[in-house]
Structure 1
Amino acid sequence: MPDDSEAGSTLPLRARLHHIRADALDGDTAQSGGMRRFAAVSGQSVGSERIWMGQTHVAPATASSDHHHGASETAIHVVSGHPEFVFLDDTNGTPEEVRLRTSPGDYVFVPPYVPHREENPDADEEAVVVIARSTQEAIVVNLPHLYVHGREDGPDGPGH
C-alpha cells in the first residue's frame, strides 16, 4: 500500500502524490499459474482511474498459464532474467508459435485480447518484469490454450 505518512494523508486519494515502497506491493491480484503478480499503482491502492502498474515474478524453469488481459493494453519492462513471451501467428496460413526472447532493459507491448504466456527457461534465476496496463486493475483471463487473436475459433468468441 502507499506510504501516506510523508504527505497530506488527509487529502483525497486523487489530490496528492503517492509513494509505494518496494516492500509494500500488494499480492492480492489476478494470477496465472506459474507467476506472481504484485500491484503497486491501482484503483484500490491510489485511486488511479486509467492505469495499473506492478511487478510480475516468474520462477526459474516455469511457464505461466495461457492468458490475455481483456481490453487492457499492457506494456512490459524486463528488470531481471530472460523471460520469453509466446503467442501464435497465422499470417502464413498455419498457426505458428512465436517466441520473443528478452533481456533486462527490453520492453514488450501486448495488445488487448492477445493470448500469450510468459516463460522463464532459466533453471536458476527468477525473471522479474514491471507491467503497466491501461486499466486501473489487473485484468487476467486464463485460457485453456493459445489461439490466434481475431480467429473465430478463439474461446472468447468472434474477434477474440
Structure 2
Amino acid sequence: MTDDTWTSEPARGARTAGTAAWHGRIEHVRGGELGSYTAQTSGMRRFEAISGTTVGSARLWMGRTHVGPATNSGDHHHGEAETAIYIVSGHPVFVFAEGDREVRVKTEPGDYIFVPPYVPHREENPSADEEAVVVIARSTQEGIVVNLPSLWAEVERPGDHDAGAGT
C-alpha cells in the first residue's frame, strides 16, 4: 500500500502530469539539523530552519532562538522584517524603548510576541537555571539582524532621507 492509494487513477495521472507545471516540493528540516550560521547577537544563539538559503523560501525566515539562564541579548532590530515569536519554554522578557523608558514584556510558554520592522529590542532571561527557547518567524527570506549599541540608537529606515523631499 502506498501513500497515494486513496487517489483515483485519473486523478493520480493528472497529478503526475501537472507536477512539473504547478507542484513544488515540500522541504523537511529536522530540528536536530538546524544551522547556527545566521546572524547572531550577543547573549543568544539563533538557529536557522526555513530561509532562502536552507529551503529556497522567497518571503519567509523561521528558526529557533536560545537564551541561556541569567542572560540578556544585545540590543538589536530586524530591519524591514516583521517578526513573530512563539515562546516554547522559559519566561523570556522582551524589552523595548518607549520615550525615555524601557518597557518590559514578561512572557510564559504558549505566548506570542510581535515585533514590527526596525523596532530596537532585546531579549532577557531572568531565570537563574532555565534556558528560554522561542520559535521565530520573519517576513523576509533571510534572518536580518542589526546589532545596536542601545535601545535608543538611531535606526535608519528606508525613506528617511526622502522625508523632506516633498514627494
TM-score of Structure 1 vs Structure 2, range by shorter chain? 0.7 to 0.9
Corresponding residue for residue 82 of structure 2: 73
Alignment match of 1:134 (pick from 134, 139, 143): 139
Runs (4+) off by over 4 Å: none
Bigger helix share:
2
Residue 46 of structure 1 aligns to a residue in which SS?
Answer: coil
Flag the structure with larger Rg.
Answer: 2
Q: Which amino acid aligns with 1:84?
A: V
Q: How does 1:51-62 map to 2 (within 5 A)?
A: 51-62=60-71
Q: Which amino acid aligns with 2:39?
A: A
The alignment's TM-score, normalised by the length of structure 1, stands at: 0.82
Corresponding residue for residue 121 of structure 1: 126
Alignment match of 2:42 (pick from 13, 33, 37): 33
Q: Which amino acid aligns with 1:70?
A: G
The alignment's TM-score, normalised by the length of structure 2, stands at: 0.79
Report how far residue 157 of structure 1 moved: 4.2
Gaps of 5+ in 2: 1-19, 161-167
Gaps of 5+ in 1: 1-10, 148-153
Residue 85 (structure 1) aligned with residue 94 (structure 2): yes
Q: Which amino acid aligns with 1:156?
A: V
Corresponding residue for residue 150 of structure 2: 145
Residue pair 2:68, 2:130 contacting (<8 A) in 1 also: yes
Aligned-pair identity (%): 65
Q: Which amino acid aligns with 2:120?
A: P
